[in-house]
Each structure stands twice: as C-alpha cells, then as structure tokens.
Amino acid sequence: MGNYLRNLDKRREGAKLRMQRKRAAIAASDWRTKFEYRNNAAANSANYRERRRIQEIEERRATSAMKKQARKREEEDLRRKHSPTAKPQPIPNAKFPPPPAKPPHRY
C-alpha cells in the first residue's frame, strides 16, 4: 500500500507541476511575467516537496517511537511473566470474582 500511495503522490505532484507550467506559459506574455511565473512555480513546488518530506520524516519518527514503546512493553511483560519470582496471575473473570484474601493465621 505504501508504494501505491507514494506513486499517487508523485503523480499528483507531477500533474500539479504540469498545470503550473501550463499556466505560466499562458500567462507569460512578456519576459518579465514569464520569469516571475517560472520562479514562483519552482519555489512553490520546492517548498511543497520540502514540507512533504519533513512531514513524512515526522510520521516515520512517531510510528517508530510507538513501535519501540510497544516492543519494550511486550519485553517487560514477558520478563515479568517468566521471572522465577513471578506469581501465577489469576485469569480475570467478571462473573466469579476471586475470594477475598484470608488474613495470616496467628497462634
């Protein structure tokens, strides 16, 4: 799915650039207008690409951090579950709660 979305973004960006070039060609009646339009189109597309790149980096960073936290939590749970001092955890059952703990017996 990632490649499909990446290709879709590239195609959208290409179409956008083509339209910008087309508008620039239509609107550029003299050299000054042509120059301004071309510069604006180039600057806008560069800014767009840069913003997209930064956004993708941030998304990747966030997802990798979440994955890392999940892995760490999983490792801790496994370590806790398989440690030699671990007590067997009761299976939670809503219908039949565990009986109350008895106080220690004293003589």
In a domain, 72, yes or no: yes
In a domain, 50, yes or no: yes
What is the CA angle 98-101-102, rounded to 5? 135
In a domain, 24, yes or no: yes
In a domain, 95, yes or no: no
In a domain, 23, yes or no: yes
pLDDT number for residue 64 = 92
Pick the closest to residue 82 from 74, 70, 93 (CA basis). Answer: 74
Number of domains in the chain: 1
Q: Tokens 């936290």, residue?
A: 69
Q: Per residue of the chain (107 residues), what is the pLDDT tens digit? A: 667 777 888 888 889 988 888 777 766 667 777 777 777 777 888 888 888 899 999 999 999 999 999 999 999 888 888 777 767 666 666 667 677 788 777 76
Provide the residue range defining the domain that includes 35.
2-81
pLDDT number for residue 1 = 61
In a domain, 62, yes or no: yes
